[in-house]
Amino acid sequence: MWFAGPARLVPEAGRPAALRTGFVLKPGMRVGLYGGSFNPVHEGHLHVARTAITRLNLDRVIWLVSPQNPLKSSKDTAPLKQRLADVTRAIGDSRMIVSDIETRLGSQFTIDTLRLLKARYPGVHFVWIMGADSLKDVHRWRGWTQLMREVPVAVVSRPWASLKARLSPAARRFARYRHPAREAPLLATLKAPAWVYLRGPFNFASSTAMRERMRAKP
């Protein structure tokens, strides 16, 4: 597996350290971007990433570990270094990259990170990956309509959120751009806005439930 943390940066001649991504992507590659706090990472996150890389026929999935979700409290968020290490240990797939690029670029919002990566890697076919629990709330994100228009989006079903996700403001607003799941292998090359909803076996793991169990321990 690849870890794009500060200790293992891939040299990129002529670029200041803060602008180095730590990974190499070639034009024509299909790359999923999977952002989140992963606080902590769990089997539900892995299910989303694995479903996406298989169903979308992706070359890579980059886990964008956020320094701090602006919609969540920092007091409940584990240190970034710990979360990066936990994701790295969990994924076990050489096609997946763990990155702290948002921290080094000083990017707080998804739309800004996405535009920076598109500019840095012209010719790469990016897809944004999210669980259904994120789709139901994505209208709260800054620049969410621009995100939907910037790259294709893949939504993976999650328990307790599927119905709300499909009735969410984002799903309704972009309903005419939804493609059937059978077209998922083509999604990365479609012109945005374009999105698919991928159903599959549910994984019931939850970061919130895990944090509550950890707080309850003596």
Q: To which residue do tokens 């939804």 refer? A: 178
**CA angle centred on 64, ends 136 and 45, rounded to 5°:** 55
Q: How far apart are CA 2 and CA 23, in angstroms?
A: 8
pLDDT tens string, the chain, 218 residues long: the values are 444 443 333 345 455 554 578 889 999 999 999 999 999 999 999 999 999 999 999 999 999 998 876 656 666 788 999 999 999 999 989 999 999 998 888 888 899 999 999 999 999 999 999 999 899 999 999 999 999 999 999 999 977 767 788 889 999 999 999 999 999 999 999 999 999 999 876 555 554 544 344 444 55
pTM above 0.85, yes or no: no
How far apart are the C-alpha atoms of 140 and 111, rounded to whole Å? 13
CATH class (in words) of the domain with range 2-216: alpha beta
CA distance 82 to 62: 18
Task: Give the residue extent of every domain in the chain.
Answer: 2-216
d(CA 198, CA 165): 12
Written as six digits, the tokens of 159 are: 């328990």
